Amino acid sequence: MPDPLRSDDDHRDSDADQVIATCLDLDHPKSFFLFAGAGSGKTRSLVEAINHVRQSSGRRLTLSRQKLGVITYTNAACDEILRRLDYDPRIDVSTIHAFAWSLISGHNEDIRMWVRNSLAKRIAELETTIAGTKNRSTKTYQENVRSLESRRRRLAALDGIVKFVYSPTGDNRTRDALNHAEVIAITSEFLTSKSTLQRLLVSRYPILLVDESQDTNRHLMEALLKVQRDNAEHFGLGLLGDTMQRIYADGKVDLGQGLHGWVFPRKAMNHRCPQRVIRLLNRIRSEVDDVVQIGRSDKPEGCVRLFAVQESASDKQRVEQHVVDRMAEITGDQAWKDQSRNFKTLTLEHHMAAVRFGFAEMFRPLYRESRIQTSLLEGTSPSLNFFSRQVLPAVKALQANDAFALASIVRESSPLLTPEALKSGGSEQLKRAKNASDALLGLFTSSNKPTFREVLENVATSGLFDVPEALAPFIALEAGSSDDTEEREASEVLAWREMLGTDFQQIEAYDEYVSGRSPFGTHQGVKGLEFPRVMVIVSDEEARGFLFKYDKLFGVEPPSDTDRKNLAAGLETSNDRTRRLLYVTCSRAEESLAIVCYTKAPKDLLRHVVERHWFDASEAEIVVI
């Protein structure tokens, strides 16, 4: 009997691409929302849509000095799309932050007024909070006082700023810099309230395509939808995404609703996953909507397994190695056991990956601070890249006695060997560079585990590399300068101080993780990616979050009172959020999938998932180690 969820027509979704092509008429654009589930080839559809515009209206774009705008989620996604489009200058591909800044950059007086109002509001809130605090010895009180002082200083300096600056990939520390959240908030408000900015957007981009639209900040998305409503005849907005794959809390919850006059193409085929994984995905989302994906005719059956483990007193390293061995045994695929870890481990939270990959101590303090998180997770922090891209390669070259590699690094990055320095200092500069390199090596020879601070002070003293401005206040010679040179939250300063006191060797694992070269990842970091073998790690205790609860999703814990109230009111529950994360991680698997659940009640968990037909009894087992 043929499988109703396996299609003999692997091109059945081509109609959706044709529908999109009809929407991309520069004279009469139509807005559309492409619903594209996991593995449906959304990026391919995006590229084909852009190629259609290039072929049909490329000359028109050139003559009118307009561009086709594309917003996507990460710098890596931008690079991949641009590569597929041969770096066509008529196509403007950017991340959401870079796109937002391109619209408001230069509107300095308007920005100044917005920042002034925002600061005044926050100052008033802090003053009220501080005045009402009885215990003034707490850490929270002290941080509020410092935060208030910082904002007052920023407000006082506001009129002296000639030009506001911002870097989508930087730390944005200087007083004239806006942070990531401010850029999104300002752009959202200006697009909504200022007709001149709307006209700028529409004149620049007759068509704007938004990838991963379900995770685009809801305020900015609502602003773009308003622009579309106000300019529907000559501005087309194309949204691509899947509401089931929304993983960020600030995404627009009801995206796709109330879009009158829009076109809604759909893709039903999953080109990535094997048949068994697709059936699991369909079951996971069956309690949310009626979307059913169909597998390709040339995809194998595949394999899924669930392993339930008692959360308390479990040796996670041994448990996860046991699962690896079992998956190799069950699937007959010895690549599961390769020493190179030829499988991807996906965790609920970044710090779970940090613990397993060995950079948790440096990661935790920075991850706590919202202003640091974006650059931390995207690998764009200049301060961290100073350690990973300059200091670490130099240390490795020194330890390997690789004079050629060291010379290359120092020539490229050290101020001691710039053409100007060599011209004025001659052979003396070469001696200084040699002494500075020896001093760095000596730090690692004399100490088994030098801290980031020790490395920073060593390099700053010798002058081997230029220390980033954001790290300068943490050097002993310049201690106490941060209040005069940086506008930072007190908690942020403490976070950097704590991080600098940890083992420097963690930087290599961190760099591999954020660059996607590690065997670990999270639901956030693997959007759009795929791997032959996937292990999903589920642990409510490790995740330490209140937004996600797998024991609730799997029926081990009852719903909370808050969840019951939200469910009755039609609002989002923790089960909704948790189910989406499970869907995203499971949908990365191309061949086989293992789900490891650390839980309070392994037997209850197995019983519930079998009763709900997520797994057969033969596909779920308890691990006792």
CATH value at residue 198: 3.40.50.300
Is the same domain home to 65 and 82?
yes
**Tokens representing residue 53 in the block:** 């515009």
pLDDT-based confidence at residue 486 (cuts at 50, 70, 90): very low
Is the same domain home to 247 and 281?
no
| pLDDT value at residue 625 | 80
| pLDDT value at residue 350 | 82
Residue 546 has pLDDT above 60, yes or no: no
3-state secondary structure of 400: coil
CB 221 within 8 A of CB 31: no
Helix pair angle (275-286, 574-586), 10° resolution: 170
pLDDT-based confidence at residue 121 (cuts at 50, 70, 90): very high
Whether residue 4 lies inside any domain: the answer is no
Domain ends where: 514, 547, 572?
A: 514
Q: Residue 21 — φ and ψ, nearest 5°? A: -60, -40
CB 63 within 8 A of CB 86: no
pLDDT in tens, 596-606: 999 999 999 99
Residue 291 has pLDDT above 90, yes or no: no
3-state secondary structure of 363: helix
Is the same domain home to 52 and 144?
no
Amino acid at 378: E
pLDDT-based confidence at residue 484 (cuts at 50, 70, 90): very low
Report the run of H or E that residue 208 belongs to, with start and end. strand 207-210
CATH code of the domain covering residue 616: 3.40.50
Identify the domain containing residue 566 by its residue range. 275-348+523-623
Is the same domain home to 245 and 214?
yes
Is the same domain home to 419 and 498?
yes
**pTM to 2 decimal places:** 0.80
Is the same domain home to 322 and 211?
no
pLDDT in tens, 211-220: 989 888 999 9
pLDDT in tens, 194-208: 999 999 999 999 999
Count CA within 13 A, CB hemisphere, residue 163: 4
Whether residue 179 lies inside any domain: the answer is no
Between residues 262 and 526, the one the model is more confident about = 262
Q: What is the mean pLDDT of residues 306-311?
A: 94
pLDDT in tens, 498-538: 999 999 999 999 998 888 777 777 655 566 678 999 999 99
pLDDT-based confidence at residue 334 (cuts at 50, 70, 90): very high
Is the same domain home to 378 and 291?
no
pLDDT-based confidence at residue 482 (cuts at 50, 70, 90): very low
Is the same domain home to 334 and 224?
no
| pLDDT value at residue 288 | 87
Q: Which residue has the tokens 């101020």?
A: 415
| pLDDT value at residue 545 | 62
| pLDDT value at residue 483 | 43
Is the same domain home to 432 and 558?
no
| pLDDT value at residue 562 | 86
Output the 3-class SS for 582-618: HHHHHCCEEEEEEEEEEECCHHHHHHHHHHCCCCCHH
pLDDT in tens, 144-175: 888 888 889 999 999 999 999 998 876 676 78
| pLDDT value at residue 447 | 65
**Tokens representing residue 448 in the block:** 């088994």
Residue 336: closest CA among 591, 624, 619, 625: 591
Whether residue 168 lies inside any domain: the answer is no
| pLDDT value at residue 522 | 63
Calpha distance 342→532 (Å, rounded): 9
Residue 477 has pLDDT above 50, yes or no: no
Domain ends where: 514, 544, 572?
A: 514
pLDDT-based confidence at residue 429 (cuts at 50, 70, 90): confident
Classify strands 294-295 and 269-270 as parallel, antiparallel or unpaired.
parallel
Domain ends where: 252, 270, 288?
A: 270
Q: Which residues does residue 236 pair with via DSSP β-bridges, in sequence order?
A: 207
Output the 3-class SS for 2-42: CCCCECCCCCCCHHHHHHHHHHCCCCCCCCEEEEECCCCCH
Calpha distance 304→322 (Å, rounded): 16
Question: CA gyration radius for the chain?
Answer: 27
Whether residue 421 lies inside any domain: the answer is yes
Is the same domain home to 491 and 565?
no
Whether residue 71 lies inside any domain: the answer is yes
User: Rounded mean pLDDT of the chain?
Assistant: 88
| pLDDT value at residue 488 | 53
| pLDDT value at residue 501 | 95
Is the same domain home to 262 and 282?
no
Whether residue 353 lies inside any domain: the answer is no
CB 317 within 8 A of CB 605: no
Is the same domain home to 473 and 594?
no
| pLDDT value at residue 598 | 93
**Tokens representing residue 220 in the block:** 């900015």
Residue 391: closest CA among 453, 472, 473, 481: 453
Calpha distance 346→586 (Å, rounded): 9
Residue 305 has pLDDT above 80, yes or no: yes
pLDDT in tens, 615-625: 999 999 999 88
Whether residue 460 lies inside any domain: the answer is yes
Number of domains in the chain: 4
Whether residue 609 lies inside any domain: the answer is yes
Calpha distance 332→339 (Å, rounded): 16
Tell me, rounded to whole angstroms, the distance of Cα 473 from its chain centroid.
28
